[in-house]
Chain A
Amino acid sequence: MPGSRFLLAALLFVFLLPVWATPGEVRIAVAANFAPTLRVLAEDFSADTGHRVQISSGSTGKHYAQIRNGALFDVFLAADSARPTRLEAEGIGIPGSRFTYAVGRLVLWVPGQTGIDRPQDYLRNARFRHLAIANPRLAPYGVAAQQVLETWQLWDRLQEKLVRGENVAQAYQFVATGNAQSGLVALSQLLQGDRAGPGAFRIIPDGLHTPIMQDALLLRSGTAAQAFLKYLRSESAARLIRNAGYGLPGHS
């Protein structure tokens, strides 16, 4: 039937369209915590260079598994440095392209309070039912939270009150919905501020935990992808990243 053949050809054309028509496109797998910041960066980058950016936001663990199994991303913006390092060691990605694009900052957030004098006192007094953290097995913010609580010798004492989100986004959610009275979350989340007043929060001093390094890895070299990584290291990108609540390596 000529009709169905035409339909087949049309479908093929439509399916192949994105492959042909996008020499200037970067496909980025980004950790969910950085996705809102990346959207701002992508706009700036596209306005500058004309390249388009396709963003897939998700968990770094899932992205790792997808990339290992051949997912077509050009750039990996991870939530940690472990997964990009591992990919690099496994011979995936462009060797030597890995660098830290942002350093996460941990905050104690207590929406129901107007101020926090010292975070360690608030946690020691423990006048809350639940403290939300990201799962230390899954999320770098969780590892940092555990280290901070261990440094203050509160890790064992607070076990009963800890609730663990699969990532820091979920820890934030537990607090934002009022089910947990406080949480150790990311500064970048509080600065997004799409919800009513964040209440009190205090930045946890960086020295209390290993830095939450978020690494980038170039997976496929192409003009657009390389241009994006160059932009990511530029001064104008650094300003946007800092405004979003992240530190940068070297000058936190």
Chain B
Amino acid sequence: MTETPVSAADLQALLVTLKLAGLTTLLLILFGTPLAWWLARTNGRLRAPVEALVALPLVLPPTVLGFYLLLAMGPGGPLAGLSLAFSFGGLLLGSMIYSLPFVVQPLRDAFAAIGEQPLEAAACLGAGPLDRFRSVVLPLARPGYLTAAVLGFAHTLGEFGVVLMIGGNIPGETRVLSIAVYEHVESLDYARAHVLAAGLLLVSFLLLLLVYASGYGRRVTP
């Protein structure tokens, strides 16, 4: 390991990556909660199309998604004027779209599993909507939140195609870990690539282990 120290540039890429994954997860949990709640409760006509939209980032190849974001951020696009291209803000938006299903779907399932009964019981005891959410839904949906957070974080950690397309590889701003690994591999600096890739794998494995050890996939009935 003395031969292959992690360079300052790689550490910077690591920091950008952690910041990106952290903020993406936080924002997705915040905005994903009402969306997932609505998806879990509604039977309206809009449910199916919204569900499909949420799942769409699973289908599109990330570079394609990134290319359309790049077009959208260009002068003729709907996001023109926000100067999102080649900025951390742009990456954040891209990551939120890219990781949306990984956060919303576990939350939706967790909310759906709670059912009506606990909420009705709480209402009978005089709890208002906010109180019901805080003291009934949140504790019961905790495994769902953990899963959503870890999957959202891990998925953003491994994000590559979208960042490649809209990032522009600016150190300290848009150069993330996956891009750094790719750069090392492509420039035949395999030793450095191995160190970063091994680190990324290890962290991702531990995160996923956390999810599965916490019982994701097993039916949790309150």
Contact = CB atoms under 8 A, between A and B. Distances in A.
Interface of A: 59, 61-62, 64-65, 86, 129-130, 132, 135, 137-138, 162-166, 170, 173-174, 177-180
Interface stretch (B49-57, B182-190, B197-205): B182-190
B143 interface: no
B86 A65 contact: no
Nearest to A137: B187
Contact-size category for B: 20 to 34
A163 B85 CA distance: 10
Given A130-B168, A166-B164, A178-B75, A135 B86 contact: no
A138 B74 contact: no
22 contacts: A86-B188, A130-B168, A132-B168, A137-B186, A137-B187, A138-B186, A162-B170, A163-B86, A163-B168, A163-B169, A164-B170, A165-B168, A165-B169, A166-B164, A166-B182, A170-B165, A174-B85, A174-B86, A177-B71, A177-B74, A178-B76, A180-B168
Contacts of B83: 129
Main secondary structure of the interface of A (DSSP, over half): mixed
Contacts of B75: 178
Interface in B129-145: none
A135 B186 CA distance: 11
A179 B82 CA distance: 11
B40 interface: no
A161 to B, nearest CB: 10
A164 B166 CA distance: 10
